[in-house]
Amino acid sequence: MSQTSSSRLLRWGCVLLPPALLAAGFAWAAGLFSPHRLSTARFMTVLENGGGAAPGFRRAHSKGLCVLGQFDASGAMTAYSSAAVFSQSHIPVTGRLALAPPFPHIVDGPGIVRSMALRLQPDHAQEWRTTMNDPPLQPMRDIQDAFASFSANQRDPVTHKPDPRLAKAYEEARPWLKTAYAANRAHVMSSDFANDTFNSIDSFQVTNAQGERHTVRWSMVPVSPPEAPVRPEDAHDPNVLFTHVIASLHQQPLRWNLVVTIANPSDPVNDPSQPWAPTDRTVTAGTLTLHSSASEDNSPCGGMVFDPTILPSGLSLSGDPLPALRSAVYMRSFVRRSGETKDPSSITPAMTQPH
Amino acid sequence: MSSSSSPRGFALSSRLVHWVMAVLILAMLGLGLFIAHSSTVHYVTLLHLHLITGVSLLVLVIVRLLNRFVVPTPELPADLTTPMRLGATGAHLALYGLMIAQPLVGWAMLSAGGYPITLGGSVTLPPIVPHNPALWANLRQIHTILAYAFIAVILLHIVAALFHGLIRRDHVLSSMVSGK
């Protein structure tokens, strides 16, 4: 090879190598060299394989009802957090009551995990979105557990049902979840949404006006819930839990106290599968009052994402790993369902009208 | 073609805004790809960094456009073939278009999704389009497509710049590197 042609080759190499390296860097960022990376797309796949992947519906907590109301802060949390949601009254609330499984038309049953998601929008201040479930603890401690747990719930392609052996194997491989499983099994499910307690499970951080920080969890605890209406047709109503809460809301507002638990220094603040000390200080931050309900087919809650990392100043993420995962996966689910044509929800607009 | 009024190299202000934006845009595209293709406990922090950088880039592209109209830019070499001349003009127009469109699509997409856009503390950006889930889904797709287009044009831009500097050995690369 002549000197000129080899130097020409070298110069062409210098032209092409830097962009090639840069392209490789972008490919790495996009996960092309990391097939085992737990991308949100892989989470979506296991969630969709676990449920019906019904177009237009949320990929988890798929069956739900919008609720409207207000939050009135007691002022007691202002010692711990400067967030406006803890000092204002008559804060408008848009929320959603749902069943956790990824099936939008699942038949209501007493053993199914229920959830409450809320968006609090104070006047001239930052909003707060929060999601809560009724079990006391999370049977997963981190993102790896979450992926393994959803994977264990995938439906078998032949039987179209999850293999119970997978769920059992998930539990047995994780001795650190013993406490969470025991607590959730001992948890007595309430009869209805109206008398249910919903827990943040994940921890968050609060900061007050002096800059002092504390780690907290919270619960929505029902206040004098009405007697559950019992009707002869209940046994055959596939939407019995939603029918009950809609009927209750037509009779009277439903109220919950927001009870915030302040972590003590020995509490495991970064692990949603572990309980905190029962002696921890609690603060009643205010009262949630739900006035009415609406089908998610004609209410703004249908097109809303209850991303628990949407926090006002004075409330922030802790070291708990799961809210970040929820935010990422919810965004992916929100994109997919928003671009799809949705079938009518099980809870139709007509069902939320007074009879 | 070289006119007596156009300088040989880019002015310091032009080079400064070019290189600052170059670093930020590359970081931004890498960060965006990483956020979109992973799940990490740092997701919220990284997304916030992406947002802050995006807002900074939107401000910088306005500065850059103003600078472009005020400070004269050097001409392309006179002996450049017409296809190369057209390619250069097209690529630069595409880069400007993407620099303007991508942050605006990001802002509009979060607005359409009903996400509050918090820069830090209690500083928030107002929504620029109404809350509309179908629009959110479309804009989120467009944000991805524009990102890949951006990467493609940047790679082409780098190949072209190095081609000028190492193969053609004209003044194009040095006009942006040293300003001479």
What is the tens place of the pLDDT at every residue in A269-292?
Answer: 999 999 999 999 999 999 999 999
What's the pLDDT band for A3 if we cut at 50, 70, 90? Answer: low
- Name the residue with higher pLDDT: A54 or B30: B30
Per the CB < 8 Å rule, is A338 touching B136? yes
The domains of chain B are located at 12-177
Per the CB < 8 Å rule, is A39 touching B167? no
Per the CB < 8 Å rule, is B39 touching A25? no
Over residues B113-118, mean pLDDT? 96
Instruction: Answer whether A128 touches B (CB < 8 Å).
Output: no
- Rounded to the nearest 5°, which phi and psi values hold at B21? -65, -35
Under 8 Å CB-to-CB from A101, ≥6 apart: which residues?
A51, A60, A61, A62, A63, A112, A113
pLDDT of residue B1: 38
Residue A160 DSSP one-character state: S
Would the pLDDT of A148 be above 50? yes
Nearest-by-Cβ selection for A143 from B33, B39, B121: B39
Instruction: Answer whether A223 touches B (CB < 8 Å).
Output: no
What's the pLDDT band for A2 if we cut at 50, 70, 90? Answer: low
Tally of CB atoms within 10 A around A2? 7
Over residues A324-344, mean pLDDT? 94
- Chain B residues in contact with A329 (beta carbon < 8 A): 39
Candidate from A46-50, A347-351, B22-26, B130-134 with smallest mean pLDDT: A46-50
Closest residue on chain B to A39 (Cα): B38
Would the pLDDT of B2 be above 80? no
pLDDT of residue B5: 63
Instruction: Answer whether A40 touches B (CB < 8 Å).
Output: yes
Per the CB < 8 Å rule, is B137 touching A143? no
Evaluate if pTM is beyond 0.90: yes
Over residues A139-146, mean pLDDT? 96
B82 to each of B77, B88, B89, B155, B173, how far by Cα in Å? 11, 10, 11, 21, 19
pLDDT of residue A159: 79
Closest residue on chain B to A31 (Cα): B37
Over residues B80-86, mean pLDDT? 94
Region of B179 please: left (phi>0), alpha (psi -120 to 50) or beta. left
Query: Which amino acid is residue B90, in one-letter code?
Result: G
- Name the residue with higher pLDDT: A147 or B2: A147
Residue A162 DSSP one-character state: B
- The predicted-structure confidence for A164-201, as pLDDT tens digits, reads as follows 999 999 999 999 999 999 999 999 999 999 999 999 99
Nearest-by-Cβ selection for B158 from A18, A30, A310: A18
- Rounded to the nearest 5°, which phi and psi values hold at A316? -145, 175
Say if CB B179 and CB B11 are below 8 A apart: yes
State the smallest CA–CA distance between residue A111 and chain B in angstroms: 30
- Chain B residues in contact with A338 (beta carbon < 8 A): 113, 133-134, 136-137
The domains of chain A are located at 36-352
Per the CB < 8 Å rule, is B140 touching A11? no
Instruction: Answer whether A324 touches B (CB < 8 Å).
Output: yes
What's the pLDDT band for A4 if we cut at 50, 70, 90? Answer: confident
Over residues A239-255, mean pLDDT? 95
Would the pLDDT of A229 be above 90? no
- Rounded to the nearest 5°, which phi and psi values hold at B128? -105, -10
Query: Class for domain A36-352, per CATH?
Result: mainly beta
Would the pLDDT of B4 be above 50? no
A198 class by beta-carbon count within 10 Å (0-12 exposed, 13-18 middle, 19+ buried): buried
Residue B98 DSSP one-character state: H
Residue B147 DSSP one-character state: H
Size of interface A-B (CB pairs under 8 A): 118
- Chain A residues in contact with B149 (beta carbon < 8 A): none
Per the CB < 8 Å rule, is B158 touching A12? no
Percent with pLDDT over 90 in chain A: 83
Q: State whether ipTM is beyond 0.85.
A: yes
- Chain B residues in contact with A339 (beta carbon < 8 A): 134, 137-138, 141
- The predicted-structure confidence for A72-115, as pLDDT tens digits, reads as follows 999 999 999 999 999 999 999 999 999 999 899 999 998 899 99
State the smallest CA–CA distance between residue A353 and chain B in angstroms: 25
Closest residue on chain A to B119 (Cα): A313
A101 to each of A107, A110, B117, how far by Cα in Å? 11, 13, 30
Nearest-by-Cβ selection for A338 from B26, B34, B134: B134
Q: By C-alpha distance, which of A41, A35, A59, A305 is closest to B36?
A: A41
- The predicted-structure confidence for B25-73, as pLDDT tens digits, reads as follows 999 999 999 999 999 999 999 999 999 999 999 999 999 999 999 999 9
